[in-house]
Every structure is written in C-alpha cells, then in structure tokens.
C-alpha cells in the first residue's frame, strides 16, 4: 500500500476527531450519561444538535408527507404485542453473528472481522485478521510484516485476500487469530445474537409478558395498514410514513453516532399493485436521492449499491443502499427495498385478520406489495455535519493568518438561521434596536442574540455552528450618519463572508427567501 493511502487514512481520522470534538464543544452531540462514564452506543443531542435533527425530520415530513397526495403519516408505539415480532420474523432471525476472543475478552461481529493468509512457504504462518475499516488492507499488511520480522520467519508474504470471518471454513477458523491476539485458537465459534432489547410488560417478569423495544418503525405501519386504509381517503398506490425511535443491541457500536443502540428512523411503506413494485422501487430511489440534494448532500458524495440477490433479504426482489462517503468509509444512510407482499402476508397469517385490499375497479382482492425507503435520522445528521465541516485560512483584523472553522450547512438545515448583534453592548440604543430586530425575526426562524466580544469574534462563533446569516445593528442603523443608512443593518453571509446593507423593513423577506 502506498504512503499516500496511509496519510489519507490518517487525515480521515484527524478529520473525524475534529468533527467529534466540535460536536461536543459547541453542543451538537454529547455522550449519553457522560458524568457516569457514558453508556456505549447511546448519544444525547445538545441544543444545536436537537435543532439540526428537528430541521431534518421536519423537512423529511414536509417533502415526503405534506407535499404529496399519496402519503399519510402515523406515529406508532415503541412497544408492540410480541406477536408482531414473531410474525415479522424478528424474534427468530433478527440477529448478528457474535464471536468472543477468549484471551482478550474482546467481542466482535463475525462479519466485521476480515482474515487473509499471512505467509506462505518457509515456516508457513496461517492467517492474520483485522476489523473492518477503510484502511484494513494496509493494516493487515503491516501486521503480516511485523510477524515476519519479529519471528524471523522465512517465506513469502501471501497475496492479500481479505474475506469476512463468516466465510471461513471450520478448518480455517481454527487457524485464524483474533484481531487483537497473535496466536490462533482464541476465537469462539460464531453464535447468533438477537439484536432486540427484551423487556417485560407489567410487574411480572415471566415469559408470557415478554416483548421488545422495536428494532424498526416499519412493523407498526404494517399492522395498522387496514385501519389507515379504512379511515383515510387513500387507496393503493399510497404510502404510510413514520419517524421514530428504534433500538438495536448492536454488538459493536462505533463510528460516533453512525452505529448506535438507540437511534431514529424515517420510514415509508408504500403499498402498490404487484406489477408496479419494480418500477416504484426505481422511482423511490430517485425521490430519495433528490431529497439528499435538497438538504445539502451532493449526489457525487452518494453511492448507490444495487444489493446483490445473495445479500438481500430472501423476500426482497430488489434493494438499493444509498451510501455516503463518511470520513470513516462509504457507509449506508438509507435502504430502499422492494419487500413484495411478505410483511402483510405474514401478519395476515399470524393474526388471522384479512389484510387484503379490494380494488373496486377491477373487482379483485390482493395483498398490496410494498416499497420501503428506510432512512436513519442520526446517520443523516452525521452526514450533514461531515459534509458541512470545513476549515480555511483567512486573514484576521490584525492582518494575521488564522484558521476559520465553518459548518457550511444548507440554510434550511442550519440550527440557527440568523445571528443578531448590537455593535456595542454598552450602548442602550443599539441593544434596544437589536432586541427589536430579534423579536421581529424570531417568530419566523431560530435566531440567536449575541452581544459579547468583538463583532469579528461573534461572526466566527456563528461560522463554527453553521449560522448562514448575521445581522449587525450599528450607529448607521440609528441614523447617526445621515438618513440614508437610518434603519438599515449589515447582513453578513457565512460562506463568502460578504456584507450587504439591508433596510430593516426588507430584512425578513431577504432572509426568508434564502433559508426556506
């Protein structure tokens, strides 16, 4: 592997560290239960993170539900009757393969451990293993070189052939060391670990009262399909949309909020005639890609994976993963899946309740087929932050070069739309006018009033949290330099750092046009 690959991996880690640290420092994301040492896989959104997340969810709801005639919303319970999870197959099969290292006590997902032959010929030395990462090829090679050097082992380094541990034969597995051990024989056999959090309904903790925190929002939609159909003026093709929490007891939460144990999903189940499924799958992919562009994630940072049949759920006739180029690798943001009539059929079977639709035009009954765009809120928020993060060298007031950190959010996603500053905090007339402007704007958008420090410093603080506009009230506003500039303010734009003089009466229109 070339030196440039290594330095680019390093740069990506540094970038991710900077993003995580900014998130904490400015109140986007905190470790959950931090003062007690945290809870692995759980995160709390601080004041700015909560605004960002809300903007994302509201915009999704607006574009996917309110702007369309064919999609309605619902808000289902997190706890459902256990039968839901039995019918959907989650109780039996919603699991990941788990392996333990007996020596180091580390725990891995078997499909996230990759192995490759190490040295061939000479004193042949079996395999090395490594956990999945964008730099795993290089890390594997380093590991092999180390083994060779340390042990003075002769023979040739084998060509790299990384495969997931789940593909290893029993014989191979016996020779594969754990990623953090050197000698083989410490990894346990992979065993299936169910990802659902189990709980009990009511005071008695026995098997009759077991249920689970939902691992996806979709099932509540399927089981309420008939109620929605009968109470709303919709008929196939139509969709039911939902945003809500989901819980998965992930074996290895990692990459900041990317893989969490508690997270939120934005899902649509789109019900249609069987013959329209494949066409609608492609249409929904386009609709969703357009959405990402609208929130500021450019198409060229998204990858579309047409999931091969052997990796799809057995009932899916087609699945696209929409992936984003995160600093830690290209990873899934959303799955768009054609699920056929699998879910409704299963629930009809298990509940004994008919879930067909009678089409009055064709006079036939059928179980609708379903196309499901299923997106992660937290992963999209993380993508928005990664995409927005930028550092540039600028010259400050004193003529010195400094680094400007700026989050270049699309204005409609920005947690704060406008900063409002009086030029000086000890001039009551400036403060009063600035408060007036704040009151006028806050009805329409999230504004932030700041009177502390030099205006340049205040701009920088807003740049760092992605505020697209800042308004400064100065002596010109008060009319001290003539009537021409009276009741005008300076509007400073985040990205180009340009400043414009705008009349207060035009300010709201000016901002609304640029933020909605």
Write out the residues near ligand ATP by the rule CB under 6 A: 216, 248, 250, 259-260, 263, 265, 332-335, 374-376, 378-379
The least CB distance from residue 25 to ligand ATP, in Å, is 23
Closest to ligand ATP by CB, 162 or 195:
195
- CA distances (Å), origin 135, targets 50, 209, 373, 379: 32, 46, 30, 21
| Shortest distance (Å) from residue 72 CB to ligand ATP | 21
Which residues make Cβ contacts (< 8 Å) with residue 355, sequence separation at least 6? 225, 226, 344, 345, 347, 348, 367
442 neighbors 472 (Cβ within 8 angstroms)? no
CB of residue 264 to ligand ATP, shortest distance in Å: 8
Residue 215 CB, shortest distance to ligand ATP, in Å, is 8
3-state DSSP call for residue 329?
strand
State the minimum distance, in angstroms, from the CB of residue 317 to ligand ATP.
16
Nearer to ligand ATP, 305 or 478 (CB): 305
Number of Cβ within 10 Å of residue 386's Cβ equals: 20
Contact 99, 190 (CB under 8 A): yes
Between 75 and 402, whose beta carbon lies closer to ligand ATP?
A: 75
Separation of alpha carbons 196 and 183, rounded Å? 33
Least CB distance to ligand ATP at residue 37 (A): 21
- Cβ distance to ligand ATP smaller for residue 269 or 378: 378
Cβ neighbors of 243 (< 8 A, separation 6 or more) are 57, 60, 61, 75, 217, 264, 265, 266, 267, 377
Q: How far is the CB of 376 from ligand ATP (least distance, A)?
A: 2
Task: For Cα atoms 394, 396, 401, give the angle at the middle one, nearest 5 degrees.
Answer: 50
The Cα–Cα gap between 438 and 420 comes to 6
Question: Residue 263 or residue 342: which is nearer to ligand ATP going by CB?
Answer: 263
Task: Give 397-460 as a DSSP string.
Answer: TTS-EEEEEEE---TTT-S--EEEEES-TT-HHHHHHHHHHHHHHHTTS-EEE--SS-HHHHHH
HSE-up of residue 494 (Cα within 13 Å, Cβ side): 29
CB of 335 to ligand ATP, least distance (A): 4
Rounded-to-integer distance, Cα 299 and Cα 40, Å: 33
Nearer to ligand ATP, 216 or 476 (CB): 216
User: Among all residues, whose Cβ is closest to ligand ATP?
Assistant: 376
User: Least Å distance between CB 17 and ligand ATP?
Assistant: 20
CB 445 within 8 A of CB 412: no
- The minimum distance between CB 189 and ligand ATP, in angstroms, equals 22
Measured from the CB atom, the residue of 237 and 329 that comes closer to ligand ATP is 329
Task: Give the nearer residue to ligand ATP in terms of CB position, either 44 or 439.
Answer: 44
Candidates 430, 425, 488; CA nearest to 458 is 425
Tell me whether residue 250 or residue 450 sits nearer to ligand ATP (CB atom).
250
CA distance to 102, 128, 179, 188, 343, per residue, from 106 (Å): 8, 16, 9, 11, 36
Q: Are 336 and 323 in contact (CB under 8 A)?
A: no
Cα–Cα distance for residue pair 365/356, rounded to 1 Å: 6
Residue closer to ligand ATP by CB (options 179, 376) is 376
Query: Which residue lies nearer to ligand ATP by CB, 326 or 357?
Result: 326
What is residue 98's three-state secondary structure?
Answer: strand
- Is 369:340 a contact under the CB 8 Å cutoff? yes
């Amino acid at each position: 592997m070339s030196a440039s690959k290594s330095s680019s991996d390093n740069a990506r880690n540094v970038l991710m560290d900077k993003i995580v640290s900014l998130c904490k420092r400015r109140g986007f994301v905190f470790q959950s239960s931090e003062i007690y040492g945290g809870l692995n896989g759980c995160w709390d959104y601080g004041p700015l993170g909560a605004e960002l997340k809300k903007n994302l969810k509201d915009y999704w709801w607006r574009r996917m539900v309110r702007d369309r005639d064919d999609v309605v919303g619902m808000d289902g319970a997190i706890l459902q009757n256990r039968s839901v999870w039995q019918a959907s197959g989650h109780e039996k099969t919603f699991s990941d393969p788990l392996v333990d290292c007996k020596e180091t006590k580390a725990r891995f997902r078997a499909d996230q451990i990759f192995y490759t032959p190490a040295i061939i010929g000479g004193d042949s030395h079996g395999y090395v293993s490594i956990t999945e990462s964008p730099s795993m090829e290089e890390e594997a090679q380093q590991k092999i070189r180390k083994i060779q050097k340390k042990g003075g082992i002769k023979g040739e380094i084998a060509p790299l052939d990384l495969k997931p541990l789940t593909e290893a034969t029993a014989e191979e597995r016996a020779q594969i060391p754990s990623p953090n051990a050197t000698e083989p024989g410490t990894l346990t056999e992979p065993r299936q670990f169910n990802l659902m959090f189990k709980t009990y309904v009511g005071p008695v903790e026995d098997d009759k009262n077991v249920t689970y925190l939902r691992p996806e929002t979709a099932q509540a939609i399927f089981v309420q399909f008939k109620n929605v159909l009968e109470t709303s003026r919709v008929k196939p093709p139509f969709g039911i949309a939902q945003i809500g929490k989901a819980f998965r007891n992930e074996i290895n939460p990692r990459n900041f909020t990317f893989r969490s144990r508690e997270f939120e999903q934005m899902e649509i189940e789109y019900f249609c005639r069987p013959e329209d499924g494949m066409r609608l799958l492609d249409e929904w992919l386009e609709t969703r890609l357009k959405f990402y562009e609208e929130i500021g994630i450019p198409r060229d940072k998204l990858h579309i994976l047409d999931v091969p049949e052997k990796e799809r759920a057995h009932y899916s006739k087609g699945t696209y993963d929409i992936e984003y180029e995160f600093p830690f690798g290209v990873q899934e943001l959303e799955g768009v899946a054609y699920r056929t009539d699998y879910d409704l059929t299963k629930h009809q079977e298990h509940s004994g309740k008919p879930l067909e639709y009678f089409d009055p035009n064709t006079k036939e009954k059928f179980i609708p087929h379903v196309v499901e765009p299923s997106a992660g809120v937290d992963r999209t928020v993380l993508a928005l932050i990664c995409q927005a993060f930028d550092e540039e060298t600028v010259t400050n007031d004193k003529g010195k070069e400094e680094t400007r950190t700026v989050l270049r959010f699309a204005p409609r996603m920005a947690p704060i739309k406008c900063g409002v500053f009086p030029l000086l905090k000890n001039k009551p007339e400036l403060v009063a006018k600035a408060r007036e402007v704040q009151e006028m704007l806050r009805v329409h958008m999230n504004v932030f009033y700041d009177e502390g420090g030099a205006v340049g410093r205040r701009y920088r603080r807003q740049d760092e949290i992605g505020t697209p506009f800042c308004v400064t009230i100065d002596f010109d506003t008060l009319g001290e330099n003539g009537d021409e500039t009276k009741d005008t303010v300076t509007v400073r734009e985040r990205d180009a750092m340009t400043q414009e003089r705008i009349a207060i009466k035009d300010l709201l229109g000016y901002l609304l046009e640029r933020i909605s």
